[in-house]
Homo-oligomer: A and B are copies of this chain.
Amino acid sequence: MYVVIKKNSDLGKIQLLKQRIEQMDCKVVEISDREQIKIGIFTKNIQEIVSKLRKEEIIEKIVQIDSPFRFSSKEFKESETIIEVKGRKIGAGNLVVIGGPCSIESREMIFDIAKTVKEVGGEFLRGGAFKPRTSPYDFQGLGEIGLKYMREACDRYELVMVTEVMDTKDIELVGKYTDIFQVGARNMQNFSLLKELGKVKKPVLLKRGLSATLKEFLMAAEYIVAHGNYEVILCERGIRTFESATRNTVDINGIAYLKSKTHFPIIIDASHGTGIRELVEPVTLGALLAGADGAMLEVHKNPECAYSDREQTLNYEQFRQCVEKIKKTMEFKESLKCI
């Protein structure tokens, strides 16, 4: 449920109201949505809270949310959420390109890629220090030293850092370095992890599970929200289907569907989504036009020598060209709104 605050209400009164609601043993979230201030209230005792709030002077109306994904839904917040990290904005038409390697392989390597990402106008650097690999015998990532290298590269080139955290026990460590936590597809329903990430003060980029329904995806986002973190970025990275010509199947329907159901920004990762270098650009552009707010791209100086994901990683020139077209596509998408 949520309450809409009357226009021009005194800010101090709003703060007092929030405190009173928290004293009723509820968590609250305050958002601004199309000229309105709304206070979302997490509670199991809806009737009780409603009756207590009925006489509050600054409340315009009290609304119960039907959608199962409650505070992630457009029912709660109609306007698109913009997530700010170090001055960059994600969502609502802002250009978002998250580039970087699958795995951090060395200090030199991550610096070189960071430089390239910056040059072409990407503002976000991705890279894995803890890698979820199918086989226990494959390279598992550099660990903390990788995080350090990446942090340095981000500081040097003024990029926002995005890296995966795989386990609740690593949240503190990874949080010392990263700007945005990534939750991998295999962990999308690792509810313990989601709950703990609900308590951090940094955005979470949540990848869709390989066979997660769209409803489950939004519910996973809602886990983070319900535990206190209202900065969620959804990432479509392809689902598992019978088709084997491509690594996964990017769910373009899903992007358009999510856009109609949630206010959170959506990122397309066509590198994992297709698994084929040549398809990354067309699928990224198509996904953006269908509703995605930004793109994640795997890039490497020499993709054929990468430790992992060789077939799907762009080289620098391909990356540059793809980002160029992403910019044009974002502009074109904006222009379509006037039709």
Contacts and interface: CB of A to CB of B under 8 A. Distances in A.
A319 interface: no
B246 A254 contact: yes
Contacts of A132: 189, 191
Given A239-B243, A246-B254, A339-B328, A166 B191 contact: yes
B133 A191 contact: yes
B222 A136 contact: yes
B279 A285 contact: no
Contacts of A40: none
A143 interface: no
A140 B173 CA distance: 27
Contact of A245 (B192, B210, B214): B214
Nearest to A186: B189
A213 B288 CA distance: 25
A336 interface: yes
Interface stretch (A50-58, A77-85, A270-278): A270-278
A328 B332 CA distance: 9
A242 B213 contact: yes
B336 A325 contact: yes
B213 A244 contact: yes
A45 interface: no
A279 B250 contact: no
Nearest to A226: B136
A167 B192 contact: yes
A17 interface: no
Contacts of A211: 210-211, 240, 242
Nearest to A166: B192
Interface residues on A, range: 35 or more
A234 interface: no
A249 B245 contact: no
B242 A241 contact: yes
A70 B137 CA distance: 10
Contacts of A257: 245-246, 276, 279
Given A137-B226, A253-B249, A167 B193 contact: yes
Contacts of A239: 241-243, 249
Contacts of A329: 289, 332, 336
Contacts of A282: 255-256, 259, 289-291
21 contacts: A133-B191, A134-B189, A136-B195, A136-B227, A168-B169, A186-B191, A187-B189, A187-B190, A190-B190, A213-B245, A239-B243, A241-B242, A243-B251, A249-B251, A250-B253, A253-B273, A256-B278, A260-B278, A260-B279, A286-B289, A329-B336
Interface of A: 44, 68, 70, 132-137, 166-170, 186-187, 189-193, 195, 210-211, 213-216, 219, 222-223, 226-227, 238-246, 248-257, 259-260, 273-274, 276, 278-279, 282-283, 285-291, 321, 324-325, 328-329, 332, 335-336, 339
Given A168-B169, A252-B286, A253-B283, 15 more contacts: A135-B222, A166-B190, A167-B168, A167-B192, A169-B169, A241-B242, A252-B283, A253-B273, A256-B274, A260-B278, A260-B279, A286-B289, A286-B290, A324-B339, A332-B332
